[in-house]
Structure 1
């Protein structure tokens, strides 16, 4: 992880903004800003907070969902996955 929980997006950095945001959100989860099975801020809030395009935020969320860090509940939002739940769907044992 190259970016910490309090970092901002560096547009001149060689790492793409969506990957920077992914590192930042992952670090915030690890720090305990958001607990498992609790929502992260909305796409609109992340767009506003980090000054990114909505498509960039969506790409970051998809990346973290694919990695098992987050999961999406339609009509409800994006939530933090349980640690060690990579590849599992929420609610399945």
Structure 2
């Protein structure tokens, strides 16, 4: 079951899609829109926790999903960055 989320969507805590998957889709949409450029950091986990009203573990799981897809990469002690690949362009939901 694939559901599209836009870059300005909020987390629907009562929806059928788990919050971490919603977050991953929203972050991917924001990257596709150009909010964060390749090789540039995304906001910190703490900021995403605040912005989306999620538990830190939920934010980490959403980020981990995007790292596994190759959309993001993690630099220890530095943060999470947008991958330089075109993995988000042309992707369907």
Following superposition, which runs of at least 4 residues in structure 1 exceed 3 angstroms of deviation?
A: none
Long gaps (5+) in structure 1:
86-93
* Residue 49 in structure 1 maps to residue 48 in structure 2: no
Long gaps (5+) in structure 2:
88-93
* Residue 63 in structure 1 maps to residue 65 in structure 2: yes
Q: Normalized against structure 1, the TM-score is what?
A: 0.88
State the alpha-carbon separation in 1 of the partners of residues 27 and 49 from structure 2.
13
- Cα displacement (A) at 1:18: 0.2
Q: Normalized against structure 2, the TM-score is what?
A: 0.88
Q: In the alignment, which of 6, 12, 28 is matched to residue 4 of structure 1?
A: 6
* Residues paired across the two proteins, number: 86
Point out which structure has higher relative CO (alpha carbons under 8 A, 6+ apart): 2
State the alpha-carbon separation in 2 of the partners of residues 59 and 84 from structure 1.
22
Larger radius of gyration: 1
